[in-house]
Chains A and B, each alone.
Chain A
Amino acid sequence: MAHGRLRSQGLPWLRLVCGALILFLFAVLLLLARELWLAALPAWREGVAALLLGQVWDPAAGRFGALPLVMGTVLTSGLALVLAFPVALGTAVFVSEYAPEPIRGGLSAGLDAMAAVPALVFGLWGLLVLLPWAQLRLSALPVSDGGGALALLDPSGVGFTLLGTGVVLALMTIPTTASLAHHALAAVPRAGREAGLALGCTRWEVLRYVVLAQARTGLWAAIVLGLGRALGESLVVAMTLGGTLAPALERLPSGATLTSVVLRESGIAGHELHLASLAALILLIVALSLALAIGGRLGVQKVVGRLEP
C-alpha cells in the first residue's frame, strides 16, 4: 500500500523538522553572541589589556578594569565551594547511607524541595536575616583594628562583604549539591554494599571503598553544577553586597563579582562605554562558564577512565 510505503521508507520528515529547529536555534545563539560581541566592541577598542587587567572598576570615573571583579567571582565561588561541599556531602551520605529506611524517602524528597528554593529567596534571607544578625554579633567583638584573618570579621570592613557573600553563596549551593550527591550515591547498586557488609566492613568502610568509588562521576557532576550555580549567581551577590546601589559601589574592589555588577548596573549604565564594558564582562562570564563546562566534561572522562579496569 502506498501509504504504508511512505511511512516506512519515505521522507524522514521528523529528522528534517528537528534538524531545521536545531539549525534555527543555533542561528539564534550565534546572533545573540554576535550582538554581545558588537555591544562590547567599544570596550575592546579602549584596550583589551586595560579592560582585563585594569585594577579599578569605577563607572563614575570612567575606569573599567575587570580584574577586581574576576577576583571577586573566583574568591566568592571558591569560598562557597569549600564551605558547601563538605556539608553537602555529609548530608547526602547520611540520607543515602545512614538514615533508617522509613524516613529515607522523606529526607530525599526534602533535599529535592530544598534545591527548588530560588536564589532570590536565599538572597532575601542573606540580606534581611543573616547579615544583620552576623553584624550584630560581630560588632561586639574587638576585631576592628586586628589585622590578618580577623579583619575579615570586621562588620564595617570590605572583607566582611566578601566573607558574607561567600557564606550566603555556600548556603545557597548546599541543597543543590547535596541533592545531586545523594542521587549519585543512591544510584550505586545495592549488591556492592551488601558484599562489603557481608565481609565485615563497617558502613563507613563500605562507603569509603565501595560506594564513593562507584559514585565518583555523579559526585563530580554535583561539584560542577554547584560551582556553576555559585559562579553564575548574580542576585545573591548583588543583594548581600549592600542592597542599594550607592554603598555597593564604594565596596566594589572587595567582593563584587562579574555577574553582580552586570545585574546592578545594566539599568543605570549612562554612556556607551559603560554599557560596552558590561557587555565585555558578560563575554568574560561566558568564557568562565564555558571553561567550567569543558573542565567538567574532561573531569568526568578522567574519573570514568580511572574507574575502568
Chain B
Amino acid sequence: MTPLDPTPRTGLANPVGPTGAAESMARRLARRLLVERAVWILCALALMASLSLFVWILGTALFTGGPHLVQSFTGGGVPPTAENPSGFGLASTPGTGSTGTALGFRWGDALMGSITLLAMALGLGVPAGVGVGIYMAELGRGLGGRGVRLICEALVLLPSLVVGFAVWSLLVATLGGSVLLAGAASLALVLIPMVAVTTDEALGSVPQGIRDGALALGLGEAARTLQVVFPAAAAQVGTGVLVASGRLLGETAPLVVVVAAGTGFVLGDGRSGVTALPLEIHGFAVGLLAAGGGEAWAGALILLAGIFLLHGAARALWRRRTTIPDPRSVPSGSPATFPGSRFPVGG
C-alpha cells in the first residue's frame, strides 16, 4: 500500500501521508509529479489518436470524394460503364448523355430523396415524440410516467435495423404498403424515442418555481404546460430535434432493409422509387453499383455536409436557449448539456 492510497470513502488523497516511512517527502513528491506527467501524456496521446482519426476520415471524404463530386456535376472524367446504370434516379432518363452528368443528377435525386424521407419522418415523429415527452415530464409523474420513460430508454438502445425489419414486415410484406411510406415510418419510429427523451430532459430543466407561478396565476394543467413550461424549453426541444435529424439523415440500415427487402437490391427500378443518400453510398461502397469507391466518397461528402449543417444549426439554437433562474432559487432538476452525442448513431 502506497502512502497515497486513501481509504475509498473519504475520497481525498492525503498529500502528507503517514510519515516515518523510508521514503522521503521529496521522493514521494517526485513520484506523484511523475504519475501526473504520465497521465497527462497518455491522455494527450488518446486525444491525438481520436482527432487524427477524425481528420483522416474527413480528409479522405474531402480529397477522394471532392474531385469525384466535381466530375459528377461537370460531366468530365468518369468513364461510362456499360453495365452501369440500372441507376436508380435515372430510371426515367435514358442514359444517352455522358455518365458524369448522369451521376450528378443522381446525387441530386438522392439528396431530394433523403430530404423527402426526413421531412416525412419529422412530420410523423416530432409531434408524437413531443407529446410523449410532455407526458413523461409534466403529466404522468407516477408509475405511468416512469414506465413510459423506461420503454423510451430501452427503445433508444434498440438497433434501428430491428425497426426497419419489423416495419417492412408489417407494412410492405403483410399489408402491401409502399416502400417509401415504410422507410419514412421506420425513420419516424427511430425518431420518436429520441425526441421524447430530449423533450423530457428539456422540460425537466425548467425550474419548479415557474410551474408554481403558473399555478398561482390559476392556470390549468394544459395552459401551464403549453403556454408557460413548454415555451421556456422550446429551444432545447428544437436542439434535440435538430440533433436527431442529423442522425436520421445518416440512418442507413432501416432503409437498406426496407428497400432491399422490397425489391431484392435493385433500387429505383420503378417498383420502389425510393432513393436516398445513404442507400446510394452503401450501394457504391459494397459494389452493387458500378462506379465504385470514389463515387461513394462523393456521396459521403454530400451527406457529411448535410449532417454538419444540421449539427451547426443545433449548436446555434442551443446557444440561444433561454435559461431561467428559479424564482425560489431552488436548483432545477439537472444541469442541461448539449445533446450532441446523446444518441448512439444506429447503423
Known A13-B222, A14-B226, A22-B132; contact A116-B157, beta-carbon cutoff 8 A: no
User: Among the listed stretches B82-90, B92-100, B203-211, B259-267, which one makes contact with chain A, having 4 or more residues with CB under 8 Å of it?
Assistant: B259-267
Q: In the complex the two chains form, is A112's CB within 8 Å of B311's CB?
A: yes
Contacts of A125 in B (CB 8 A): 56-57, 60
Q: Which of B13, B33, B169, B247 contacts A39 (CB 8 A)?
A: B169
Nearest-CB residue, chain A, relative to B284:
A124
Q: Range of interface residues on chain B?
A: 35 or more
A90:B296 contact, CB within 8 angstroms? no
Interface class of chain B by DSSP: helix
Cα–Cα, bound, A290→B155 (Å): 9
Instruction: Give the residue of B47, B128, B163, B173 whose beta carbon is less than 8 angstroms from that of A94.
Output: B47
Is A232 a contact of B165 with CB atoms below 8 Å? Answer: no
In the docked arrangement, what's the CA distance between A276 and B290, Å? 32
CA separation between A259 and B139, bound complex, in Å?
37
Q: Cβ of A297: which chain B residues have Cβ within 8 Å of it?
A: 150, 153
**Interface residue ranges of A242-294 to B (CB < 8 Å):** 243-244, 259, 262-263, 266-269, 278-279, 282, 285-286, 289-290, 292-294
> In the complex, how many angstroms separate the beta carbon of B244 from the nearest chain A beta carbon?
11
Which secondary structure characterizes the binding site on chain A?
A: helix
Q: How far is the CA of A14 from the CA of B288 in the complex (A)?
A: 50
Which residue of A has the minimal Cβ distance to B337?
Answer: A183
B134 contacts which chain A residues (CB < 8 A)?
Answer: 14, 18
Q: Is the CB of A114 within 8 A of B54?
A: yes
Q: Are B35 and A121 in contact (CB under 8 A)?
A: no
Which A179-212 residues have C-beta < 8 A from chain B?
A: 179-180, 183, 186-187, 195-196, 199-205, 207-210
Instruction: Check: A118 CB closer than 8 A to any chain B CB.
Output: yes
| Closest-CB distance, B292 to chain A (whole angstroms) | 9
Task: Check: A150 CB closer than 8 A to any chain B CB.
Answer: no
Instruction: Tell me how far the C-beta of B158 lies from the nearest C-beta in chain A, rounded to whole angstroms.
Output: 5
Contacts of A114 in B (CB 8 A): 50, 54
Contact of A228 among B61, B223, B251, B344 (CB under 8 A): B344
Residues of B within 8 A of A36 (CB): 165-166, 169
Known: A94-B44, A209-B12, A231-B159. A175 touches B54 (CB 8 A): yes
| Interface presence of B268 (CB below 8 A) | no
Could you say which of B40, B56, B246 has the most chain A C-beta atoms within 10 Å of its C-beta?
B40
Residues of A within 8 Å of B43, CB to CB, are: 90-91, 93-94, 97-98
Pair B265/A267 contact, Cβ less than 8 Å: yes
Q: B46 and A119: CB pair below 8 A?
A: no
In chain B, positions 268-301 with a C-beta closer than 8 Å to chain A are: 278, 281-282, 285-288, 293, 296-297, 300
Contact B35 A204 (CB under 8 A): yes
**B250 within 8 Å of A (CB atoms):** yes
Residues A244 and B340 in contact, CB atoms below 8 Å apart: no
B256 lies within 8 A of chain A by Cβ: yes
A118 partner, pick from B139, B293, B307, beta carbons under 8 A: B307
Known: A112-B341, A116-B311. 20 other contacts (CB 8 A): A9-B220, A10-B220, A15-B222, A32-B166, A94-B46, A114-B50, A121-B250, A127-B285, A129-B60, A180-B341, A199-B12, A205-B13, A231-B159, A232-B158, A232-B160, A233-B159, A238-B286, A266-B261, A267-B265, A285-B159
11 A-B Cβ contacts within 8 A?
A: A7-B223, A8-B220, A36-B169, A88-B50, A91-B47, A111-B50, A118-B252, A196-B12, A209-B13, A229-B344, A267-B261
Please report A residues at the B interface, Cβ cutoff 8 Å: 4, 7-10, 12-15, 17-19, 21-22, 25-26, 28-29, 31-33, 35-36, 39, 86-91, 93-95, 97-98, 107, 109-125, 127-129, 171, 174-176, 178-180, 183, 186-187, 195-196, 199-205, 207-210, 213, 224-226, 228-229, 231-236, 238-239, 243-244, 259, 262-263, 266-269, 278-279, 282, 285-286, 289-290, 292-294, 296-297
Residues of B within 8 A of A (CB): 4, 6, 11-13, 15, 32-33, 35-36, 39-40, 42-47, 49-51, 53-54, 56-57, 60-61, 128, 131-132, 134-135, 139-140, 148, 150-151, 153-154, 157-163, 165-170, 173-174, 189, 192, 218-223, 225-226, 243, 246-247, 249-253, 256-257, 260-261, 263-265, 278, 281-282, 285-288, 293, 296-297, 300, 303-304, 307-308, 311, 315, 335, 337-338, 340-347
